[in-house]
Amino acid sequence: MQRRNFLKIIGGGIVAAATAGAGFALTRTPGDALMPWQMAGDSQYADPRLRALSYAILAPNPHNRQPWQVALESDDTVRLHVDLDRLLPHTDPFSRQITIGLGCFLELMAMAAAGTGHKVKFDLFPEGADAARLTTAPVAVARFVADPAIKPDPLFAHVMARRSNKEPFDTSRPVPDAALAAVLASGRYGGALGGTNAPDEVEDWRQLTEEALQIEIDTPRTYKESVDLFRIGKAEVNANPDGIDFSGPMFESLALIGQFSREVALDRSSMGFQQGQAAVIENTRTAMAFAWMTTTGNSRADQIAAGRDWLRCNLAATGQGLGFQPLSQALQEYPEMDAIYRDVHTMLAPEGGTVQMLVRLGYGPEIAVSPRWPLEAKLMEA
């Protein structure tokens, strides 16, 4: 949800008084939850697999669920599983988007491995895959192979600056053709990337993504799925560094005076709900370009490949100085979204295939990193 507009909830006066002074702001930062960003590539990770995984846990993923679990096997292998407690059954009933997030994880792990001279060979879904649901079976077995000839991927240089920018973009700054072309040229694994910065087409996509977002908000079970994942304030974020982060002095102050809570967010008559909804919708209206990815198939392996390319797309956008926010509501597969889902596929995949991702692009403000669970919390017994 867009941050700054929450000041409108109570006119800003009480919040301004409560958050005055740098000291208060500093004490509201969830330092524990942000530590994994500082630890990525740390010298304590002597095992190249752990070093690569310390970066992989920073990968983008739906609702910041961080659904990965990994086990180290022998001296060169990582086994990836999905944490079935971290799925999104209402907005992502077939776990397609979760699987894309796992693909982002694997691509970032492979990129990081190159930094220690290792190539990663993947065996995807070695025990088979279920198209309808994810299971406890391995998602991938990854073997690290020493390769002195391997070179770092240039996109890896943008990992620490990568964000999903949920703030309004600058509508006075168009996205240049060259920048959009660089984003669309970043794929490697077969996903077809497309996009537009044409003003009339961008306006059409703004309207469509706004409508899709409104459907998700107006559908009680899908909206509640997001609200249940709100983490409000430093203590909650540090205790559960996943989900949707609302940390910082403003949100803590709103919570203290009863103006922001999960209960307030679910109360459609409340000012908190109304202002929050307006803030989220505003983001779609400030998109300055859109990009998307389609695949001819929609197997689990196709979804993993889409995730690997989607991470690359995000990093390429970062390298161009662009803000990047997935707007995947129109691609969600539940009955209330069906009409828009079909419209998007008619436009972008008229001959068949699956639209895997949709994103808005533009120039936005600098934002903080997202909370993460530490690597140690994601390690399983082999």
pLDDT at 26 over 70: no
Give me the pLDDT at residue 215, please: 98
Which tens digit of pLDDT belongs to each residue from 326-373? Answer: 999 999 999 999 999 999 999 999 999 999 999 999 999 999 999 999
Give me the pLDDT at residue 272, please: 87
pLDDT at 269 over 70: yes
The reported pTM is: 0.94
pLDDT at 56 over 80: yes
DSSP percent split of the chain into helix, strand, coil, nearest 5: 50, 15, 35
3-class DSSP assignment, residue 313? helix
Which tens digit of pLDDT belongs to each residue from 196-210? Answer: 999 999 999 999 999
Q: Among the listed ranges 15-29, 106-120, 205-219, 240-254, which one has the minimum average pLDDT value?
A: 15-29
Q: Among the listed ranges 18-32, 78-92, 333-347, which one has the minimum average pLDDT value?
A: 18-32
Q: What is the mean pLDDT of the chain?
A: 93
Give me the pLDDT at residue 143, please: 98
β pairing state of 68-73 and 379-380: parallel
Give me the pLDDT at residue 110, please: 98
Q: What is the mean pLDDT of residues 121-147?
A: 98
- Tell which residue, 11, 2, 96, has the closest CA to residue 271: 11
Q: Residue 230 phi/psi, 5° resolution?
A: -65, 135
Highest mean pLDDT among 3-17, 19-33, 102-116: 102-116
Which tens digit of pLDDT belongs to each residue from 154-184? Answer: 999 999 999 999 999 999 999 999 999 999 9
- Tell which residue, 38, 8, 21, 3, has the closest CA to residue 280: 3
> Taking the domain 33-159+372-380, which CATH number applies?
3.40.109
Give me the pLDDT at residue 48, please: 98
Cα dihedral 375, 378, 380, 382 sign: negative
Report the side by side order of strands in the sheet with 289-295. Answer: 192-196, 289-295, 354-362, 323-326
Give the residue extent of every domain in the chain: 33-159+372-380
Give me the pLDDT at residue 381, please: 86
pLDDT at 14 over 80: no
Q: How close are the terminal C-alpha atoms of the chain, in Å?
A: 38
d(CA 3, CA 10): 14
Percent of the chain whose predicted confidence (pLDDT) is above 70: 93
